[in-house]
Structure 1
Amino acid sequence: MQSLLPFAGFYFTYFTFQGMFSPFWGLYLESLSFSAMQISVLMALSTLARIIAPGFWGWLADKSGRRRNIIISTSILSAASFSLVGVHHGFWWVFISLAVSHFFWVAALPLVEASTAYLTRENPGRYSRVRVWGSIGFVCLAAGGGYLLDWWGIGATPWIASALLGGVALVACSVPEVKPVSRNKQAGPIWATLKKPAVLALFACCFLQAFAHGPYYTFYSLGLKQFGYDKAAVGVLWALGVTFEVGVFMLMPRIMRRFGLETLMLVSLLAAVLRFGVIATCLPVPALAAAAQALHALTYALHHAASIGLINRMFDEQHHGRAQGLYIIASFGLGGSGGGLIGGLVWPHGGVLPTFAMSACAALIGVLVCLRWLKPGYQKSK
């Protein structure tokens, strides 16, 4: 059996960067005196890149059969281009540097996800035991990043993030090539799977969940700052959410033995309605802010594990690279960028309350879609 250790190492380093970027990048952009709309545009670049890039990289990987080469080269190019971000503080310089970096940055993760899902296909719960190392990496930087920035200043953010991306590039070199051996002699066209109602419903649920999280990744830290939380508290709250996420990932093998994937998807969407409703109305209360963060275990970890499991089940093995790319496009790409950008329009007209109420409504629509079309018992055709 092929070792999963290199994949755990990749997740760990990849999400240490995310643990620095998600909580503190918006605060760094605000320190450059960018407007709310400019901040939402720059924050959305990471999700906008997921609209175009994953489909291209997934197609290239499926056609070439060289996932490892793409993972390594794009990780190096992402680190190199991000190192330019802090050189100049003008909006367009930051915009172009970030756009180039994110185009390469989003390439590796869906390919690593496809390889990990394939290697754990006989026991899908094992996927979560590997993926949890990404959450651990996130916690390490989210919890410690606020103290680092209190010490070095918010201006150090791009340089710390660049160093972390350099670490991703180094670890990417250890990721082995994984070549799926299909049980079918030949798979049908991917479109035949994509047009099935349950598959469309899955991607709709992923879109709506990511749309609900778009304002969270863009404005949550700014909302905390408005209510008087300092950078250390911001980092701790982000880390708290991902700490609970770690717990769910560790329990996923047991959870998946008891509940169907469609049921887990429904629970994750219901939890998002509650979570963003609490953020919208109770963020100034530290205990309730912490409770809302605890629900990240369900709105992200449970949702993500269920999504990966459903995609792995619904699509033929020859299509897994493209299917993972399409998942990134539908969720973090279209959904995350759409939620973040629309949040940028709503934020100046009331801040936390209307912005996160919009998130709760998006998740509620996802609940209705899941109940209507994503029903237990769906299996891919052979």
Structure 2
Amino acid sequence: MLTTSPFHWTSQYFIGFFFAYGVYLPFWALWFEDQGISATDIGLLVGIGFATRCVANMVITPRIHKVEQLMPALRWLSIAALLFVMFHFLATTSFWLMALATVLFNLCFGPIVPLSDAMANYYARIKMIDYGRTRLWGSVSFIIGSTVVGYLAAEFGSEMILYTAAAGMLCAILFSMRRIQPMPKTVEKEATHRPKLGDMLKDVSVIKFLTLVALIQGSHAAYYGFSAIYWKEVGHAEDTIGYLWSLGVVAEVAVFAFSKRLFTGWSLRTLFVLASVGVTVRWGLTASTTALSALILIQLLHGVTFGVAHIAAIQYIQHSDVNRIVALQALYNAIPLGAVIALLTALCGWGYESWGANVFWIMALMGIAALFIHVEPIRSQPSIIDTETQN
């Protein structure tokens, strides 16, 4: 079996996975629409996907609490996700088959995000990689995936959405089959008792953190579910939509690439305030205009609304005790990025059908609400974005 460095394994796995994610997130709703599904039912299906990821991250992810388990788990989950992408081809005849395909796919797809992050965090903690510079390759691949599938869908039809997602998962599988030198290994002094998720949900600091991130990241629900449909309805082509989504992730990549230079010395409060203001401005503009020049600015703000918020969340998690990190990652992915977005996406399906683009004003209000929540790190420890790279 081939052996590679921690940086190459994690960054290249991110490349394969986020290529598929760059297809899934912006274009799955368009695939559903081309199968004749209504906006309300699309919101329900996309919401079911997020809800399934929530359940998976509450049930599956916490069981994988030793770093030695991360690599085999990522391999098997990637293989299963590929199979369930292909199952969508057989699900076009029935809404319930589409719902089943959505559940099965997200059951495998959901835990990959926190588990691959946990792999990167492990090597960042022992100063073998820089998290931001490793993770940015996933964002670059997301850009490529959304750009490529936008072109292919415009030229050859919506079936290319499934084929392109499958290609990304296949690459992730192939990259994951290599060994890492050194392999991840639990240090005896870190093999402490893993706190129960239920107990952590009683911690006021954790509750405030999850609520704040839920408001900021949850505000993306209408964007994830209906921006592509909305922009297509007003006359923008699929390839233009793909470029717009890619531009958003270009901004995210820039934030990750220069995070240490840009945000050294910034408090957690300042980072979250910046993200909250960005949410209000971005979704207010989205509700107000579809001019291409404005959409470019709107997408550049993704670096603030997602990138800065994610860096702040990672800082909060990395400042906590070692035995709480995987559990916090599971909660972060399960609740703000799973359950909340699932619920809001389903509601946005109804809202978009009733109000159209005005649903984005509700998303803008969430940024205002987020400004009133103050979160402090649990304890002081070096931040993951401050670690020195050794690759």
- TM norm structure 1: 0.91
1:323-368 Cα offsets, whole Å, 9 max, x none, are 2111101111112112211101111112112x10111112221121
Q: 1:257 to 1:63 in 2, by over 3 A?
A: closer
Partner of 2:357: 352
Task: Provide the C-alpha distance between the structure 2 equivalents of 1:2 and 1:235, rounded to a whole number of angstroms.
Answer: 33
Task: Provide the C-alpha distance between the structure 1 equivalents of 2:149 and 2:37, rounded to a whole number of angstroms.
Answer: 22
Is structure 2 residue 368 aligned with structure 1 residue 334?
A: no
Task: Provide the C-alpha distance between the structure 1 equivalents of 2:159 and 2:15, rounded to a whole number of angstroms.
Answer: 25
Q: 1:348 to 1:188 in 2, by over 3 A?
A: closer
Paired residues in the alignment total: 374
Is structure 2 residue 367 aligned with structure 1 residue 379?
A: no
Is structure 2 residue 170 aligned with structure 1 residue 169?
A: no
Is structure 2 residue 79 aligned with structure 1 residue 72?
A: no
**Pick from 25, 29, 33: which aligns with 1:26?**
29
Q: Alpha-carbon deviation of 1:321?
A: 2.1
Q: Alpha-carbon deviation of 1:309?
A: 1.8
**Pick from 131, 138, 156: which aligns with 1:127?**
131
1:254 match: secondary structure: helix
Partner of 2:387: none
1:52 match: secondary structure: helix
1:4 match: secondary structure: helix
Q: Alpha-carbon deviation of 1:223?
A: 0.9
Aligned pairs (5 A) from 1:272-283: 272-282=279-289
Task: Provide the C-alpha distance between the structure 2 equivalents of 1:122 and 1:253, rounded to a whole number of angstroms.
Answer: 18
Task: Provide the C-alpha distance between the structure 1 equivalents of 2:260 and 2:125, rounded to a whole number of angstroms.
Answer: 12
- Identical positions, percent: 22
Asked whether the equivalents of residues 221 and 234 of structure 1 are also in contact (C-alpha less than 8 Å), the reply is yes
Partner of 2:96: 92
Structure 2 unaligned residues grouped into runs of 5+: 382-391
Amino acid at match of 1:15: F
Asked whether the equivalents of residues 39 and 349 of structure 2 are also in contact (C-alpha less than 8 Å), the reply is yes
Task: Provide the C-alpha distance between the structure 2 equivalents of 1:228 and 1:118, rounded to a whole number of angstroms.
Answer: 46
Partner of 2:386: none
Q: 1:125 to 1:159 in 2, by over 3 A?
A: closer
Bigger shift: residues 332-341 or 38-47: 38-47
Amino acid at match of 1:110: P
1:57-76 Cα offsets, whole Å, 9 max, x none, are 22221169512221111111
Task: Provide the C-alpha distance between the structure 1 equivalents of 2:334 and 2:139, rounded to a whole number of angstroms.
Answer: 21
**Pick from 303, 307, 314: which aligns with 1:301?**
307
1:118-173 Cα offsets, whole Å, 9 max, x none, are 32136799211111001100111212222111221123222222222222222222
Q: Alpha-carbon deviation of 1:299?
A: 0.8
Structure 1 unaligned residues grouped into runs of 5+: none
Partner of 1:43: 46
Q: 1:31 to 1:5 in 2, by over 3 A?
A: same
Amino acid at match of 2:53: R
**Pick from 128, 146, 149: which aligns with 2:150?**
146
**Pick from 82, 86, 90: which aligns with 1:83?**
86
Q: 1:247 to 1:380 in 2, by over 3 A?
A: closer
Amino acid at match of 2:334: I
Amino acid at match of 1:111: L
**Pick from 251, 255, 264: which aligns with 1:248?**
255
Is structure 2 residue 278 aligned with structure 1 residue 271?
A: yes
Bigger shift: residues 189-198 or 137-146: 189-198
Task: Provide the C-alpha distance between the structure 2 equivalents of 1:213 and 1:117, rounded to a whole number of angstroms.
Answer: 25
Task: Provide the C-alpha distance between the structure 2 equivalents of 1:175 and 1:320, rounded to a whole number of angstroms.
Answer: 24
Is structure 2 residue 381 aligned with structure 1 residue 363?
A: no
Asked whether the equivalents of residues 194 and 324 of structure 2 are also in contact (C-alpha less than 8 Å), the reply is no
Partner of 1:3: 6
Task: Provide the C-alpha distance between the structure 2 equivalents of 1:77 and 1:19, rounded to a whole number of angstroms.
Answer: 18
**Pick from 317, 330, 341: which aligns with 1:325?**
330
Q: Alpha-carbon deviation of 1:182?
A: 6.5
Q: Alpha-carbon deviation of 1:274?
A: 0.8
Task: Provide the C-alpha distance between the structure 2 equivalents of 1:250 and 1:39, rounded to a whole number of angstroms.
Answer: 34
Aligned pairs (5 A) from 1:127-276: 127-174=131-178, 176=180, 177-181=183-187, 186=192, 189-190=195-196, 194-276=201-283
